[in-house]
Chain A
Amino acid sequence: MERDRIAGSEVSLSHSNMSESAKVHHPGPPVKAEKTHGSDFSYVGIDAILEQMRRKAMKQGFEFNIMIVGQSGLGKSTLMNTLFKSKVSRKSVQPSPEERIPKTIEIKSVSHDVEEKGVRMKLTVIDTPGFGDQINNENCWQPIMKFINDQYEAYLQEEININRKKRIPDSRVHCCIYFIPPTGHCLRPLDVEFMRRLSKVVNIVPVIAKADTLTLEERDDFKQTIREELRANGIDVYPQKEFDEDAEDRIINDKIREMIPFAVVGSDQEYQVNGKRILGRKTKWGTIEVENIAHCEFAYLRDLLIRTHMQNIKDITGSIHYETYRVRRLNESNGHFTSLPAVEPKTNGLPAEQPAALQANGVAAQHGALSHEM
């Protein structure tokens, strides 16, 4: 039942928009009960829970796992370093050409503890050297898919333990950045195949790498083509249309979807431009400023990934992708006990829709029966 509004102190937290400076305003901690006692004795203090949540979050710290996929030489490591303003990835320029391209796809995961203004985060960057570099690239998504599913599996195992940890360490891949080479034409079969399979298990953010080789018109055409191809192939990249929560979300996310894929340029070199030191690439014909939105869309990518949607990305991974995996996994083991056709574990991670729904509460029912027995 509805109760009336209780007058109280204001705590405003505005949700920042993509086109602005993307800073979330926070006007300091809310006023405590004693201070508003003068005229406002009807204050209860429920809104103080926000501050409590914030404190708890700051104390616990955050975790974020980002995977970068793309052919070698597309500037993946440089982009990561630019994104997180530190050497999170080691560039692979140094080794000799024979050593540089691995025979198979490797998955290299490196974690760092970073801190900013009291907020601590454990950032894990998962690199996939060797992707798309072989002559025969069939099934190159398999090791990556396996890695992602292994992380889900580890989380699931921990979750169904009897004695489980207070806070289950989250190694699930939250976001996968896919690097599209700037051909200017269209997506290659490898791109389509990879994104099609992986968009069902992880949040994919496609970016056009080394975008300084495209003029603005070429860039727009290329983006248009890519968007159409994604739509035609039924590939749902982040932010997915079906997970928009309300009208406000949809408006914000539609703006983002208009800009996908972001054309980015990465750099960890600083240059002097107009008296300021900024990150950029210096060429004979000019300096490309990484954070200048007139030059490239790096700032938009950074805002999306870090400043506004990071929590949302983690939520979608946890509540949708992980749950899908869990449903599939728990149904698999029940598959040969029921009379329904066994759910075949498909390698592309596609959950079998109908059988799963039919026996959605199979375990619960049997569980219930068991509990009566015991």
Chain B
Amino acid sequence: MASSDVARQPDKAVRPLGLDGHVGFDSLPDQLVNKSICQGFCFNILCIGETGIGKSTLMDTLFNTNFENFESSHFEPQVKLRAQTYDLQESNVRLRLTVVNTVGFGDQMNKQESYQPVVDYIDRQFESYLQEELKIKRSLHNYHDSRVHACLYFISPSGHSLKSLDLVTMKKLDSKVNIIPVIAKADTISKSELHKFKIKIMSELVSNGVQIYQFPLDDETVAKVNTTMNGHLPFAVVGSTEEVSVGNKMVKARQYPWGVVQVENENHCDFVKLREMLICVNMEDLREQTHTRHYELYRRCKLEEMGFKDTDPECKPVSLQQTYEAKRQEFLVELQRREDEMRQMFVQRVKEKEGELKEAERDLQSRFEQLKRLHADEKASLEEKKRHLDDDQSSFSKRRAAAHLLQAQSLTVNGKKDKDRKNSGFM
């Protein structure tokens, strides 16, 4: 899969031709470099490691600046990623560096899902590049490439072996990003322990099938140094931004009561090796691997997932466009079907509701009738009672009238009798 395979395969139609004089296209690499200087470079590093293991300090030391860092607490409920972008410049080279740090990695009680935010972040960067690449009107040359080019995995200097969290995380990431494992805080391990530790780590990685980034060996100029460095993996690093005077120079170091650990002293730690490999020798290769291997893999998987294929069942090449159109038709048909379904459901619901309402209306109607009848009954009985009462009343008044009459009559009769007696008295 080396890039040299495709680039210079002897083409049968192409004859080598000797030149009779100086033509001048040997300036092409310079033209290319000039263009890149104008455009600037882009590099993205992801640092994964437990809280307090020295990620930010190492970044500061590597790039010789003071990135704004916050000390994270140990009580993060979930692993988060914090990305910060900086513009650096050295002589005439402008670099846009993005440093992504994990926050809270390894702090949770349950670390099963710790790797997920990291994987999601990496995938998101690939996805946004893929989207840009698939656009109709695209500007890939101005696009700020945010894909992770290198992943520094910080191993805790226990001296024994890798933690299972380390293995699980690295296994999930090895097909997505170039992993460079480093042993952090290497000044806590003695030389002999370090040697055994490194061997143990590498053998564990191999036995678990974790593919870490190997420095490329295909270019003769750097093959030798890369081979040596491959043997020193993982790098045992110490980071420090403080300066201590050693001899008559100020060097970056960590001062202990028992001595001074110099960061840039190759006998003390592998920091210089890391800087050399990561920046001075292989930065371009890291970028290229990310683009041609990891990104292509992501792209292939994503497109296949969406149903695109290069060849259809008869093994005839299918253009992306055809597949796309077919998918689009499918999508439209599906949309139509869903619409119809929804419409039907809606109509049904309406009918149901209507039925319900009618029921309720009928109910109410019958109740009303009932009440009316009750009312009429009541009224009738009341009328009856009233009539009775009236009858009683009238019969009572008749009797009274009759009684009065009788009384009056009897009075008159008595008066007449008296009158008669009176009258008879005279006679």
Q: A interface vs B, CB < 8 Å?
A: 1-6, 8-13, 15-16, 22-24, 26, 32-33, 37, 41-50, 52-62, 64, 83-88, 111-123, 157, 160-167, 245, 302-303, 306-312, 315, 319, 323, 326-327, 330-331, 333, 337, 356-357, 359-364, 366-371, 373-374
B279 contacts which chain A residues (CB < 8 A)? 44-46, 48-49
In the complex, A360→B132 CA distance in Å? 12
**Does chain A have a CB within 8 A of B21?**
yes
Selected contact of A119 from candidates B7, B28, B91, B131, CB within 8 Å? B28
In the complex, the answer to whether A50 meets B37 with C-beta atoms within 8 Å is yes
Tell me which of B72-80, B324-332, B341-349 binds A: B324-332
B315 at the interface (CB under 8 A from A): no
B336 within 8 Å of A by Cβ?
Answer: no
A44 contact set on B, CB distance < 8 A: 62-64, 88, 90, 275, 279
Name 30 A/B residue pairs within 8 A (Cβ), A-sorted: A2-B87, A5-B90, A6-B88, A13-B33, A33-B272, A42-B64, A45-B276, A46-B41, A46-B95, A52-B283, A52-B284, A54-B32, A55-B219, A57-B33, A59-B4, A85-B20, A113-B14, A113-B16, A115-B19, A116-B23, A116-B25, A117-B26, A167-B6, A306-B24, A319-B140, A330-B136, A333-B325, A364-B136, A367-B131, A374-B305
- Kindly identify which residue among A22, A119, A327 contacts B137, using a CB–CB cutoff of 8 Å: A327
On whether the beta carbons of B137 and A373 are closer than 8 Å, the reply is no
Contacts of B65 in A (CB 8 A): 3-4, 6
Interface string of B1-21 (1 = CB under 8 A from A): 101111110010111111111
* Contact, CB under 8 Å: B134 / A364: yes
Contact B135 A364 (CB under 8 A): yes
Interface string of B292-321 (1 = CB under 8 A from A): 100010011001111111100000000111
Interface size on B, residues (CB 8 A): 97
What 6 additional pairs, Cβ within 8 angstroms, besides A56-B288, A121-B25? A46-B41, A53-B284, A84-B19, A116-B25, A120-B8, A303-B24
Given known contacts A161-B320, A363-B135, A371-B306, A112 and B15 CB-to-CB distance under 8 angstroms = yes
Q: Report whether A311 and B303 are in contact in the complex, using a CB–CB cutoff of 8 Å.
A: no
In the bound complex, CA of A356 to CA of B135 (Å): 12
As a 0/1 sequence over residues 53 to 64 of chain B, the CB contacts with chain A under 8 angstroms (1 = contact) are: 000000000111
Q: Which 7 A/B pairs are nearest by Cβ-Cβ distance?
A: A311-B31, A52-B284, A45-B280, A112-B17, A307-B24, A117-B26, A48-B280
* CB within 8 Å for A85 and B280 given contacts A166-B3, A331-B136: no
Please provide the chain B residues from 79 to 96 with a CB less than 8 Å away from any CB of chain A in the complex.
85-93, 95
- B282 contacts the other chain (CB 8 A): yes
Known: A44-B62, A52-B281, A84-B19. A121 touches B87 (CB 8 A): no
A166 and B6 in contact, given A50-B36, A311-B32, A370-B327 (Cβ under 8 angstroms): yes
- For residue B378, CB closer than 8 A to chain A, the reply is no
Interface residue? B35 (CB, 8 A): yes
Distance in angstroms between the alpha carbons of A61 and B65 in the assembled complex? 37
Binary CB contact string for chain B from 110 to 152 against chain A (1 if under 8 A, 0 otherwise):
0000000000000000000001001111101100000000000
Can you name the residue of chain B whose Cβ is closest to the Cβ of A368?
Answer: B131
Number of A-B contacts (CB under 8 A): 280
Q: Is the CB of A311 within 8 A of B28?
A: yes
Contacts of B5 in A (CB 8 A): 166
Q: Is B251 an interface residue (CB 8 A)?
A: yes
Q: Which residues of B contact A357 (CB under 8 A)?
A: 137
List of A residues within 8 angstroms of B7 by Cβ: 59-61, 167
List chain B residues, Cβ under 8 A from A54: 29-30, 32-33
With contacts A57-B32, A113-B15, A366-B328 taken as known, whether A162 is within 8 angstroms of B310 at the C-beta atoms is yes
- B28, B303, B306, B310 — which one has the most chain A CB atoms within 10 A of its CB? B28
Contact of A333 among B89, B249, B276, B321 (CB under 8 A): B321
Do B29 and A58 touch (CB < 8 A)?
yes
Given the complex of chains A and B, what is the CA–CA distance between A165 and B7 in angstroms?
10
Which A residues lie within 8 Å of B38 (CB)?
245
| B27: contacting residue among A6, A24, A59, A369, CB under 8 A | A24
Q: How far is it, in angstroms, between the C-alpha of A368 and the C-alpha of B177 when the chains are bound? A: 25
B34 within 8 A of A: yes
Closest to B266 in A: A34
Decide if A6 touches B14 in the complex (CB within 8 Å): no
Determine if B285 is an interface residue (Cβ-Cβ < 8 Å). Answer: yes
CB-CB under 8 A from A45, the residues of chain B are 90, 275-276, 279-280
Interface contact B6-A13, CB-CB below 8 Å:
no
Q: How far is the CA of A12 from the CA of B92 in the complex (A)?
A: 8
Are A49 and B41 neighbours in the complex by a CB distance under 8 Å? yes
How distant is the Cα of A330 from the Cα of B133 in the complex, in angstroms? Answer: 13
Distance A311 CA – B138 CA, assembled complex (angstroms): 21
